[in-house]
Amino acid sequence: MKRLATIFFLALALSIFGLRAQNIQLHYDFGRALYDKNMDVRPLLTSTVEKFQPDDWGSTFFFVDMDYNSKGVEQAYWEIARELKFWDGPLSLHLEYNGGLAKTYSINNAYMLGGTYTYNNASFSKGFSLTAMYKYIQKNDSPNNFQLTGTWYMNMNDNLFTFCGFADLWREETWFNSKLTFLTEPQFWVNLNKIDGVNDKFNLSVGTEVEVSNNFYKGRAYVIPTLALKWTLN
């Protein structure tokens, strides 16, 4: 299910979790049910661990995805991104690495360098970021590529609901063609500790993620929802 592309939730982390955050997610994927002929080997379950950590020179974000089948872990994938700032203002230098392991296909190392523009409103209830990057895909037939990434978040009804996500557009050349790939994964969460009568420390959220892609899997477009749980570690 999960991302083989850039995700950087600086604005999201600042808004939802304060100045630092870590969360664990579990997603049940409906890809097989919707596209049984094309996705008969697609894992049903994916776990995600995310962490955001700021410091005096910017911030670090990483996540680790693991896809599971009946025999155990089918694939492991991770991304780590660093924002560097030695100045005031919304612009920062962006450094990123993507890579992983899979049983049935290869995931080439990808290294990215670019710049990020970040906006948060005064109350940190909504915001977005835009990143433009040079992307080097190791062992690719044409390793020099580019990627554009946008992220967003919106907290509603006194943080009861959270709408967030990312969108990626990147070029990746192979020996037979050059293609543009689009991937977006908007998420919608209900934060249970914001319901009256629920303990504030019960940091469970229930929600969904919808993967919308083109040229990401088997060269065609897909819309795949999940049913998800998330626990935020304070």
203: tokens are 């940091």
pLDDT over 50 at 3, yes or no:
no
User: How far does CA 192 lie from the centroid of its chain?
Assistant: 22
User: What pLDDT, on a 0 to 100 scale, did the predictor assign at position 142?
Assistant: 86
User: What pLDDT, on a 0 to 100 scale, did the predictor assign at position 7?
Assistant: 34
- Tokens 């612009």 identify what position? 91
Closest CA to 44 of 100, 1, 103: 1
| Count of C-beta atoms within a 10 Å radius of residue 57 | 11
Residue 104 lies in a domain: yes
Regarding predicted confidence, which is higher, 97 or 102?
Answer: 97
pLDDT over 70 at 103, yes or no:
yes
Residue 4 lies in a domain: no
Q: Tell me the mean pLDDT in the region 60-76.
A: 91
The tally of domains found in the chain comes to 1
pLDDT over 70 at 166, yes or no:
yes
- Boundaries of domain holding 73: 10-233
Total count of residues recorded for the chain: 234
Distance separating alpha carbons of residues 30 and 225, to the nearest angstrom: 6
Distance separating alpha carbons of residues 175 and 140, to the nearest angstrom: 9
CATH of residue 209: 2.40.160.40
User: What pLDDT, on a 0 to 100 scale, did the predictor assign at position 6?
Assistant: 31
**CA–CA distances in Å: residue 116 to residues 37, 59, 110, 179, 196:** 40, 12, 18, 24, 38
Residue 2 lies in a domain: no
Give residue 71's pLDDT band: very low, low, confident or very high (50, 70, 90). confident
- Give the least confident one: 10-14, 55-59, 214-218: 10-14
User: What pLDDT, on a 0 to 100 scale, did the predictor assign at position 167?
Assistant: 96
Mean pLDDT of the chain: 87
Residue 217 lies in a domain: yes
User: What pLDDT, on a 0 to 100 scale, did the predictor assign at position 20?
Assistant: 53
Residue 135 lies in a domain: yes
Q: Tell me the mean pLDDT in the region 79-87.
A: 95
